[in-house]
Amino acid sequence: MGDSRFARTVVFLCAHGEEGAMGLVVNKEADNISFDDLLDQLGIEESTITALPVHNGGPVETGRGFVLHSHDYFQDGSIEVTDSVAMTATVEILRSIAEGGGPRKRLLALGYAGWAEGQLESEIQANGWLIADADDDILFSFDLDLKWTQALAALGVDPAALSGAAGQA
């Protein structure tokens, strides 16, 4: 992948269809913003949650927030992504989390990764991405540095065997 923004990146694909695809980067923390900062910007009262990382979900619409979460929380506006993961992009979920409620498992991301029609398929065909099944343990892990190697291990890939160079035989 020639785009340095996606180097050693794990993307959780949330939607894929004829019009394109949308996913969230789940292993990169956002620079210069904390959960408390975000709550302040939204006018939400002080949080009882002290350690909720804010992820850099991707380069598109970086001011827009998304929460990937377990199915124990579902509201109007929540979208089922997998059998065990939903996505909600409302202020109400942030308010619920700040009050000590909300979903048991959660990942907050600002921005997203987006692909136009056929773009992701072309990148996959050019070996720009490796594809693994969704794994909730990797997705909701707090160890961001390990997510990439865990995702590769799930595919049986040794990171040392990967090369950024391509060629023809």
Mean pLDDT for 48-60 is: 86
Domain count across the chain: 1
Mean pLDDT for 20-26 is: 97
- Closest of 110, 114, 107, 109 to residue 3, by C-alpha: 114
Task: Give me the CATH number covering residue 41.
Answer: 3.40.1740.10
Question: Is 157 a domain residue?
Answer: no
Question: Is 27 a domain residue?
Answer: yes
Distance CA 136, CA 68 (A): 10
Instruction: Look at residue 104 and tell me whether its pLDDT is greater than 90.
Output: yes
What range defines the domain where residue 43 resides? 16-149
What is the pLDDT, as a whole number, of residue 151? Answer: 93
Non-local CB neighbours of 49 within 8 Å, separated by 6+ positions: 35, 97, 98, 100
- Closest of 12, 53, 9 to residue 148, by C-alpha: 9
- Closest of 68, 67, 56, 47 to residue 25, by C-alpha: 56
Question: Is 161 a domain residue?
Answer: no
- Closest of 113, 115, 67 to residue 90, by C-alpha: 67
Question: Is 169 a domain residue?
Answer: no
Question: Is 166 a domain residue?
Answer: no
Instruction: Look at residue 105 and tell me whether its pLDDT is greater than 90.
Output: yes
Is the CB of residue 73 less than 8 Å from the CB of residue 86? Answer: yes
> pTM for the complete prediction?
0.89
What is the pLDDT, as a whole number, of residue 135? Answer: 94
Question: Is 10 a domain residue?
Answer: no
pLDDT band per the 50, 70, 90 thresholds, residue 161:
confident
Question: Is 74 a domain residue?
Answer: yes
Distance CA 144, CA 129 (A): 19
Q: Is the dihedral of CA 142, 145, 148, 153 positive or negative?
A: negative
Residue 85 burial by Cβ neighbours in a 10 Å radius (0-12, 13-18, 19+): buried
What is the pLDDT, as a whole number, of residue 141? Answer: 94
Residue with the bigger pLDDT between 50 and 41: it is 41
Question: Is 62 a domain residue?
Answer: yes
CA dist list (Å): 87 to 12, 67, 124: 11, 6, 24
Residue 77 burial by Cβ neighbours in a 10 Å radius (0-12, 13-18, 19+): exposed
